Structure 1
Amino acid sequence: MDALLPRFSVIVPAHGVQAYLHECLDSVLTQSFSDLELIVVDDCSPDACGAIADEYAARDPRVRPVHLPANEGLGPARNTGLDLAVGDYVLFLDGDDTLTPDALRAIADRVKETGDPDVLVYDYTRVLWSGETVRPQRATRLTEEGPAPFRLDDRPSLLSAPMAVWNKACRREFLDREGFTFPPGYYENVPWTYPVLMAAGSIATLDRSCVHYRQLRRGGILGTTSRRHFDVFEQYDRLFAYVDARPWLAHWRPALFRRMVDHLVTVFSRRVRLPRGTRAEFLRRARVHYARYRVPGVPVRGHRRLRHLLVRLGAHRTYRALSLAARAGRHGLGVLTAALRAAGRGALRLHYRVQRLLPLRADRALFSAYDGRGYCCNPGALEEAFRTYAPHVRTAWAARPEHHHTLPTATRRVVPGSVGYWTALARAKYLVTNAEFDTRLVKRAGQVMVQTQAGTPVKRMGLDLRGRPAAARGTDTAGLLCGADQWDFVLSGNRHSTLVWERVFPAGYETLEYGLPRNDVFQRATSMDVDRLRASLGVPEGAIAVLYAPTYRDHRSGPRTALDLERVLRRLGPRFVLLARAHHADGAPPDARAYDAPAVRAAGGRLLDVTGHPSVEHLCLASDALITDYSSLMFDYANLDRPIVLLDDDREAYEAARGTYRDSSTSSGASSFPPGAVARGEDELIDIFATGHWRGSRSTQLRAAFRARFCPYDDGHAAERVVRRVVLGETEIRTGTRTGAGAAGLPPVVPLAERRPVPSPAERPTASVPGPAGSFPPAFPSAFPPAFPSSPETVTVPGGRVAVHDAL
């Protein structure tokens, strides 16, 4: 192959798409992979498409404009581009669609990886006229798992992939050898897509969205009303003629027949396509094709039976009768289901009303965290403190069933929305959460609601989200304030939190500036506990474990993985281990891998995905340093007096979407007082660790000032102070050094200089040997690897299978 010939020929037919053609051509020419030619075929467009193509050709020699003297249609226009193409691979792109960023680079890499297959099939994303993007559910069929390349017989489900040409890269020599061209007509994809897949000697897939397929509000071919939709019959005649001429393809006839029936029903069902008075004629033509291409003896199952009956009978009235009957059946089932659900909801409401008439139970408390997640955060620490300092109160925890395994055995579990849940909401005196209970909750006289919050605020909250639609996401401000009106106590870890909470949630509650209960564990843990936690996670002895815990982005979807984690570990050297944890608000299920599997494998076992670990406090204890951004975890981690590095690489975007309290007029925000070194990007982050600045004297000074400002009360007794104030009614600060359940009054705050948080192994001369511990966590179950493996394979932490100890 001539080295001067491009790798890709991208063919773009253009007709009546002048409003979108600039974006289309730019998406090709700005690709990070530039070894291409762009053939723009002006199909005698009545608008400025031809002039736009000429303008781009004048600026970029890779653009080759072609002007057809008459409008020939999409298929012939593509054929014109095929005749001119000289690239190794041919890609088709409609003039109103676009390539996604780096799509050609991904296609080139996958083609090279799979040995230059005849066809590469990649995924796409639909872009609706409103701007909404929708990823098709068929994406799972494009998995890259298994051997590649392969033949269609090895993966027949690929035949049901979208019937399009713009989701495939075809080797030009293969197309020339097989003589593939497009026929004229509306449905030219039919006799192209299936034969290309059946004839290909080698196929590969790319599980990546490479095309944004735009669906216009009006003007698209498939949205027009015309007799030209009868063209679908002629195209299937061409398809089956191709198969009939090649007996070795006969085994594909049943699958192609089923696809034809589905397609014909789709055309018939889209009422906008067929002109008035032609629907009966269309069904008669469909019946002829059904009889002509039907494969006797092939069963028809499931939802396809009605479709096949429609086409087989070819009777419009019969179809309408069958459709109405089926619709009535579905409607009847829907009505019955809705009635049962309404009856269930009504019964629960009635039950809740009855329970509210009964006396409150002063010895009952209901806890919840993050709208039904497991035993964690401040409510978890308070639940343990209730059982320690107020043992007469029986506790219950509201959690979804998949999180019940995290609850201590002494804690009763209830499912949100169940009878037990509504009973507890109605009868329990104490209601404790870091989010909200059900919005239908009616707080009774005598009930005490404790809002623990979920940390020290860095990002804007509550009323401060007004005017920030990406973060507020339609938040009901009135409902927010009604919820705050039910709070009796709000927990705060510092003055900054107190001032923010009282401003963004203005209500009549009492702020308990006692510290955050979830941080008590940092003052109680021992070096032996830390060693056991590290061993359970698979951190090798002598390694420096860095916890990477970014916060979520309201303006993005999915976990934030801005760092090239493999590259970071490679640059830092073999002594470093990275514990990567995605934020729970990103929506990843407990057992989901939040970080790319190839990067995890390539890291040689030094990248541990701990997203599924139920206790972030345990991960903090097991690590030697923290990398985060705008997460409140930095305030909790500062209580360990271990190094913290802030990754501040998208400050402007985050400030625009969510905003932070960096310039609070009442209390200097956290961002104005960093807890350690600040990196503006990945290279700077690597440099901070490589030079030792992450734990240098300047970082230590910053952390000391940060702790003095934001950690005044986290001395290990925050939960005890809250329980003694809320349940036991004690308000006076205790004098002396008495501690424990028998001491009267609120425990005094241990000064910062007198606290001795457990050091990390990197701060100790020698690491202690893991062994039995006293009051901290018992041994983790065997679901965790007991030690770091000697092989370079990945150590993964199974999510959601850890028996969390009462002490969190």
Structure 2
Amino acid sequence: MPQLSVIVHGPNAQGHLTELLDSLAAHPLPDAEVIVAAVGDWARETAEGHAPETIVVPLPDGTGDAAARAAGAARASGRWLHFVHAQDGLPAGAPRLIAERTAELDRADTADTAGAAGPGKPAAPVDVLLFDHVTTTWRTASAPSRDGRHLAAVGRAARPLDEAADLLRLTPLLGNRALRAAFWHAHQDRLNSDDEPLAAHAALLCAGRVACLNQTAYEHRVLRPESLPPRAPEDRLALVDRYEALLPLTRDRRAPRAVLYDLMVRDLVRTFAREDLPDPVAREFFRRASLAAVRWRPEGHRRPPGPDGVRHALLEEGAYTRYRAFQSANHARRATRTAVRTRKRKLGAQLRDHRYRRALSRPLDPRLAVFAAYWDRGVACNPAAIAAKLAELAPHIRRVWVVSKENAALLPPGTDHVVPGTRRYWETLATAAFLTNNVNFPNAVVKRPGAVHLQTHHGTPLKRMGLDQMDHPAAAQGLDFAALLARVDKWDYSVSANSHSTRMWQRAYPSRFTSLDYGYPRNDVFYTADARAVRAARDRLGIAPGRTAVLYAPTHRDYEAGFTPRLDLAALADRLGDNTVLLVRAHYFYGGTASPPAALRRSGRIIDVSAYDPVEELCLAADALVTDYSSIMFDYANLDRPIVIHADDWETYRTTRGVYFDLMAEHPGQVARTQEELTEILTSGAWRDAGAAKARAAFRRRFCEYDDGRAAERVVRRVFLGEPEEALPPVLPVEDRTPAPTPEEAVA
């Protein structure tokens, strides 16, 4: 019996079935079967032309989604079912993720049953596994969902829906959940419907327990409405029927009732406002929506404040005419506010442009240097290291930082700075002879003859950057490539840490800038810090001597709406024991002071360093680094300390973000694909064995090529003091460098 049955169902809409089956064939999984409930001859022929082990269930044209799902499920033999519409997609490795997580849930259910004793009953089985998804439309590809925060809030522990009712707020797709086969067959009449959101919600409401996989394992494709058969206005009435069918499942279930009721009112109001329905249909929709809003209102329910509360009240009253009048008045108010804001923006822009043009007529100040980092976050990264060295070697050059208003209060005392948008900001940018940034200055900044623009970057690229993102829409969301190239054309110099970066910057940002192959100035500290500095960094973090500090620093996923945790930190800390401290550089969605991570934080076994700067101090304090695809691995490798890669979604990341090399083959130490593998590496000592050291040595030779502790000096002498290349300190070979002492050496 396979662990997972992937049931592909539906017609070959616009040819997308071919792409889906190709992706499944490219990443076969031994513990999964693929069944295609092919609707129509085109879908059948497409399915039969793929892998011979694919089971094809031919169905006549016009077969609905519910009937196709039922036919596919009837042929399935897996313990779990994943229904995938033929027009949708699966990220690389998604079936493996689902199969592994469901197998883990099965083992836990078996243990719960075996461990039940006495009169108590074992916990209900986990019937539904939920996971994240991306959405592709005819205009965009792989846009992240907003579901991650709800999945993260629940964590990995299985629980009844009544304890996690917010999961009803997840996008209602059958594709972003896997169902236990026995559960499906027991509730098929209720779970299977041509109305997919109804089926998706019903699965949660009927489940014994639900569990989450906070990773992207589905691609929902939205076809262009104009390419689909038109919907009759009366079809909108089915939305009321959906909730009339679902809400009876919430009787005596306070939390699910409240969430589902809010979803119903939201959907009804939005549909009424956004759909241009003929008046008779609109009146009937409003009448039925009003009845449902009154009939299913939870006891003690309070309307939201503001306009939403007014809409809700008018809906419950069935006041169709007054609702329409309220709607019209709101439209008029919004139009007026928009016009006023537009006029203010235009006047502000005109005033700014006038002041900036006047400032541009002044001569450049050769003793003025402007620095910025991370979109005006503050004194950080390569610009900070360069500014510090500039103060030492050229104190006659005044240093001014661009810092956002909200971050200005966090600056070191006495830091000269300007706030974006102010008069002094534009005057300073207009007259500075040197402009240094690790990202880009705004498009409006003019590159003046004689002014030097220095681009420092902020990491060695594993992921694709610049123009190379054009083939990866998830990464390129909102990017204006023409504007990007206009910004790049202002660069005079580009700092590089290794020849890999030099080549990639030239490819991703094709322009006439000069590459400064000097190393990253921010990494100088990894060679200049002594034992006292290492001890001081650990003391500031509260790490006791003798304890092992592991820095966990994952990166952002472009296919997720926001950062979500990928590890159960409480479980990891428990397995690593009291002598290990986890330094966590990320924000996690742990709620409540009684949560295990909160207790671990109180005991000093987990330290949240998400807001700690500079990150280089964290690296000095850590005995080892655990990361996924973050560029911190390239910087940390300078310390020649162990690095472990946790690559649970490598295939998805590589496909959606694009990468420059295969990290799984050219890694800096050990690689874990699951939390269990990561735990085994850290507890067994494999994280610092000979194999890990050998991989790290090759990684250092390639990616720490120019970092030797004197990068900032080389940049200052060449760019700010105008010294010739041959007069600069030469780069020391990797084998001749001595990194900062390890925490263990610093104590000795």
TM-score interval for Structure 1 and Structure 2 normalised by the shorter chain: 0.5 to 0.7
Deviation readout 1:29-85 (Å, 9 max, x if unpaired):
9874847796x767xx5545567789999846xx594868x9675556666778888
Question: Partner of 2:446 in structure 1?
Answer: 442
1:128 equivalent in alignment to 2:136 = yes
Residue 176 (structure 1) shift: 7.5
Query: For the residues of structure 1 that align with 2:634 and 2:205, how far apart are their CA atoms?
Result: 60
Question: Partner of 2:160 in structure 1?
Answer: 150
Query: For the residues of structure 1 that align with 2:254 and 2:561, how far apart are their CA atoms?
Result: 45
Residue 531 (structure 1) shift: 3.3
1:517-666 aligned within 5 A: 517-518=521-522, 520-522=524-526, 524-536=528-540, 591-592=586-587, 613-618=612-617, 621-622=620-621, 642=640
Question: 1:292–1:81: structure 2 CA closer, same or farther, 3 Å change rule?
Answer: farther
> AA paired with 1:107?
T
- Secondary structure of 2:435's aligned partner: strand
8 Å Cα contact 1:9/1:37 also seen in 2: yes
1:760 equivalent in alignment to 2:747 = no
Question: Partner of 1:433 in structure 2?
Answer: 437
Query: For the residues of structure 2 that align with 1:750 and 1:336, how far apart are their CA atoms?
Result: 58
8 Å Cα contact 1:119/1:170 also seen in 2: yes
Question: 1:757–1:325: structure 2 CA closer, same or farther, 3 Å change rule?
Answer: same
Residue 752 (structure 1) shift: 7.5
Query: For the residues of structure 1 that align with 2:75 and 2:702, how far apart are their CA atoms?
Result: 68
Query: For the residues of structure 1 that align with 2:549 and 2:81, how far apart are their CA atoms?
Result: 48
Question: 1:108–1:324: structure 2 CA closer, same or farther, 3 Å change rule?
Answer: farther
- Secondary structure of 2:149's aligned partner: helix
Query: For the residues of structure 1 that align with 2:67 and 2:735, how far apart are their CA atoms?
Result: 82
- Secondary structure of 1:374's aligned partner: coil
Structure 2 counterpart of 1:181, from 189, 192, 200? 189
Report how many aligned residue pairs link the two structures.
704
8 Å Cα contact 2:526/2:740 also seen in 1: no
Query: For the residues of structure 1 that align with 2:532 and 2:378, how far apart are their CA atoms?
Result: 26
Query: For the residues of structure 2 that align with 1:217 and 1:480, how far apart are their CA atoms?
Result: 31
8 Å Cα contact 1:546/1:576 also seen in 2: no
1:338 equivalent in alignment to 2:338 = no
Deviation readout 1:695-717 (Å, 9 max, x if unpaired):
68x9989989999x846xx564x
Question: 1:397–1:71: structure 2 CA closer, same or farther, 3 Å change rule?
Answer: closer
> AA paired with 1:133?
S
- Secondary structure of 2:189's aligned partner: coil
What percentage of residue pairs aligned between the two structures are identical?
A: 30
8 Å Cα contact 1:265/1:311 also seen in 2: no
1:92-491 aligned within 5 A: 93-97=84-88, 100-101=94-95, 102-110=97-105, 113=108, 115-117=123-125, 119-120=127-128, 122-125=130-133, 127-130=135-138, 132-142=141-151, 143-145=153-155, 148-152=158-162, 154-163=163-172, 181-182=189-190, 187=195, 190=198, 202-218=209-225, 224-225=231-232, 227-232=234-239, 248=252, 260-265=264-269, 268=272, 271=275, 279-280=281-282, 282-283=284-285, 286=288, 289=291, 293=295, 299-301=302-304, 302-303=307-308, 305-306=310-311, 309=314, 313=318, 315=320, 320-357=324-361, 364-400=368-404, 404=408, 407-443=411-447, 447=451, 449-452=453-456, 476=481, 480=485, 484=489, 487=492
1:692 equivalent in alignment to 2:687 = no
> AA paired with 1:150?
P
Residue 181 (structure 1) shift: 2.1
Question: 1:289–1:57: structure 2 CA closer, same or farther, 3 Å change rule?
Answer: farther
Give the CA RMSD over aligned residues.
Answer: 6.6
Question: 1:381–1:185: structure 2 CA closer, same or farther, 3 Å change rule?
Answer: closer
Question: 1:31–1:351: structure 2 CA closer, same or farther, 3 Å change rule?
Answer: same
Residue 309 (structure 1) shift: 3.1
Range with greater deviation from structure 2 (541-550 or 559-568): 559-568
Residue 332 (structure 1) shift: 1.8
Query: For the residues of structure 2 that align with 1:352 and 1:725, how far apart are their CA atoms?
Result: 29
- Secondary structure of 1:408's aligned partner: coil
8 Å Cα contact 1:186/1:231 also seen in 2: no
> AA paired with 2:353?
R
TM-score normalised over the length of structure 2: 0.67
Query: For the residues of structure 2 that align with 1:195 and 1:630, how far apart are their CA atoms?
Result: 37
> AA paired with 1:303?
D
Deviation readout 1:592-631 (Å, 9 max, x if unpaired):
369xx999999x9999887765335445555678999999
Question: 1:22–1:312: structure 2 CA closer, same or farther, 3 Å change rule?
Answer: farther
Query: For the residues of structure 1 that align with 2:264 and 2:435, how far apart are their CA atoms?
Result: 60
Residue 483 (structure 1) shift: 5.3
Query: For the residues of structure 1 that align with 2:529 and 2:284, how far apart are their CA atoms?
Result: 76
8 Å Cα contact 1:310/1:319 also seen in 2: yes
Query: For the residues of structure 2 that align with 1:340 and 1:268, how far apart are their CA atoms?
Result: 33
Question: 1:421–1:89: structure 2 CA closer, same or farther, 3 Å change rule?
Answer: same
Residue 412 (structure 1) shift: 1.9
TM-score normalised over the length of structure 1: 0.63
Deviation readout 1:112-148 (Å, 9 max, x if unpaired):
5464436425245354343623443244334324974
Residue 383 (structure 1) shift: 1.9
Question: 1:18–1:325: structure 2 CA closer, same or farther, 3 Å change rule?
Answer: closer
Query: For the residues of structure 1 that align with 2:223 and 2:322, how far apart are their CA atoms?
Result: 34
Give the helix-richer structure, 1 or 2: 2
Question: Partner of 2:119 in structure 1?
Answer: none
Query: For the residues of structure 1 that align with 2:360 and 2:202, how far apart are their CA atoms?
Result: 69
Question: 1:267–1:185: structure 2 CA closer, same or farther, 3 Å change rule?
Answer: farther
> AA paired with 1:117?
P
Unaligned runs of 5+ in 2: 110-122, 590-594
Query: For the residues of structure 1 that align with 2:568 and 2:718, how far apart are their CA atoms?
Result: 47
Residue 271 (structure 1) shift: 4.5
8 Å Cα contact 2:303/2:309 also seen in 1: yes
8 Å Cα contact 2:172/2:196 also seen in 1: no
